């Protein structure tokens, strides 16, 4: 292996991907909040939604899964040149999205390739270990890449209604990953930290938390059976909210590393309910999209990046660094301001969008400031990873 690829940053996927997600998430949301208009082929709002769903959130999803799969299977993680190549594909997708003319098509190609390359990286250890529990996660990454490809197919000719449905499909697919990850970790982490019994969930609930959003996303991406898709989204949301209630212990409120996961999961559930209702009551759509997009994606990805990076860099998880709860509260504030923006108009709407964007970016930049030095250095405990 070339010595360049032996640098600690290429040891596991979370290292380059969490650093890039924090920096690019902050940059892209500030560009959108303060007037970036996109390109003629991928104009303002569509660029913003595209980059937050498949650029930012998609990167964190792949980072978490490619890091966790090594633990789940006992196989070596994606690292070195393979990881550098995956990073390069993601960067090309982001850069091309800024280029007028051919850029949107190129971003579509590289962005879809990123997810399918990531799915292959996850498939290798999963299939080698015959880890059947995670076959569905490999399939789900392919589906996430498929929603990205379907969105780009609607860009030429430009079809606003189909593009909006396409964006929803990607967003709901990310909500499915939140369902998958939350089911595996929230009750487990709560039990471990608070020394309380782990709340078991029926197998069908665990399956439904990913399959219902995934089926919703596939139907939306193809623009078929949309009333059924809406019912699936609504049902997934109800399951998430019920799970938050089942897993809850009052002592969670004293642990930022726990309550941030509950908050992100609850926002996602409420967002899925609102998106489901929106098929019949369209006024709910904006609320649902941003409950998932800021409250679900923003809060939960930040919580996951904060916790898993501490564990995998050999730092102490409890208590977390003092800056971490600050970042969490900034992201919660961003969510509340963005939800409030759905109920106002005119200059109040513009100001609330900018305020939410600034808070979202500040949360990620606090994370970047505290964590990037750790992400670029070898583990503090000397172990590999």
In order of their start, the domains of the chain are 3-375 (1.20.210.10)
Question: What's the confidence (pLDDT) of residue 210?
Answer: 93
Q: Picking from 292-296, 329-333, 345-349, which range would have the lowest pLDDT averaged per residue?
A: 345-349
Alpha carbon separation from 137 to 1, 37, 133, 149 (Å, rounded):
29, 35, 8, 19
CB 140 within 8 A of CB 214: yes
Question: What's the confidence (pLDDT) of residue 379?
Answer: 86
Distance CA 149, CA 145 (A): 6
CB 81 within 8 A of CB 2: yes
Question: What's the confidence (pLDDT) of residue 345?
Answer: 85
Question: What's the confidence (pLDDT) of residue 168?
Answer: 93
- State the average pLDDT over residues 202-209: 92
Which token pair is 202? 């029926």
Residue-wise DSSP of 277-337 = HHTT-GGGHHHHHHIIIIIIIIHHHHHHHHHHHHHHTT---SSPPTHHHHHHHHHHHHHHH
Question: What's the confidence (pLDDT) of residue 156?
Answer: 86
Q: What is the pLDDT of residues 43-61, one digit of tens each?
A: 989 999 999 999 999 999 9
Work out the pLDDT band at 380, boundaries 50, 70, 90.
confident
CB 320 within 8 A of CB 305: no
CB 338 within 8 A of CB 374: no
| pTM score | 0.94
42: phi > 0 → left, psi -120 to 50 → alpha, else beta; which? Answer: beta
Q: What is the pLDDT of residues 278-326, one digit of tens each?
A: 999 999 999 999 999 999 999 999 999 999 999 999 888 888 899 999 9
CB 174 within 8 A of CB 57: yes
Question: What's the confidence (pLDDT) of residue 222?
Answer: 87
Alpha carbon separation from 17 to 6, 36, 62, 88, 376 (Å, rounded):
16, 24, 8, 11, 11
Percent of the chain at pLDDT exceeding 90: 82
Question: What's the confidence (pLDDT) of residue 157?
Answer: 86
Question: What's the confidence (pLDDT) of residue 2?
Answer: 64
């Amino acid at each position: 292996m070339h010595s360049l690829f032996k640098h600690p940053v290429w040891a596991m996927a979370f290292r380059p991907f969490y650093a890039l997600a924090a920096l690019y998430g902050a940059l892209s949301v500030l560009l959108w909040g303060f007037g970036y208009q996109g390109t003629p082929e991928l104009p303002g709002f569509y660029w913003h939604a595209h980059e937050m769903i498949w650029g930012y959130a998609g990167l964190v999803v792949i980072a978490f899964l490619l890091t966790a799969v090594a633990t789940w299977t006992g196989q070596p993680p994606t690292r070195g040149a393979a990881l550098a190549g995956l990073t390069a594909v993601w960067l090309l997708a982001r850069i091309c999205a800024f280029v007028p003319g051919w850029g949107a098509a190129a971003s579509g190609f590289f962005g879809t390739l990123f997810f399918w390359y990531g799915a292959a990286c996850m498939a290798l250890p999963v299939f080698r270990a015959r880890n059947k529990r995670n076959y569905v996660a490999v399939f789900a990454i392919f589906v996430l890449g498929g929603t990205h490809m379907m969105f780009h197919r609607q860009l030429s000719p430009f079809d606003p209604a189909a593009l909006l449905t396409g964006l929803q499909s990607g967003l709901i697919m990310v909500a499915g990953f939140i369902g998958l990850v939350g089911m595996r970790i929230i009750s487990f982490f709560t039990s471990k930290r608070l020394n309380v019994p782990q709340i078991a969930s029926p197998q069908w609930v665990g399956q439904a938390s990913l399959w219902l959003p995934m089926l919703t996303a596939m139907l939306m991406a193809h623009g078929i059976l949309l009333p059924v898709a809406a019912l699936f989204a609504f049902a997934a949301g109800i399951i998430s909210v019920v799970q938050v209630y089942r897993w809850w212990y009052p002592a969670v409120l004293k642990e930022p590393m726990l309550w941030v996961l509950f908050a992100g999961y609850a926002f996602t559930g409420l967002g899925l309910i609102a998106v489901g209702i929106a098929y019949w009551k369209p006024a709910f759509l904006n609320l649902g999209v941003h409950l998932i997009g800021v409250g679900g994606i923003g809060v939960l990805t930040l919580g996951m990046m904060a916790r898993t990076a501490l564990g995998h860099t050999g730092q102490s998880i409890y208590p977390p660094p003092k800056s971490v709860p600050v970042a969490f509260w900034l992201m919660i504030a961003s969510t509340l301001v963005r939800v409030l923006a759905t109920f106002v108009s005119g200059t109040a709407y513009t100001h609330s969008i900018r305020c939410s964007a600034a808070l979202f970016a500040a949360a990620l930049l606090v994370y970047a400031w505290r964590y990037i030095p750790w992400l670029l250095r070898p583990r503090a405990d000397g172990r590999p990873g």
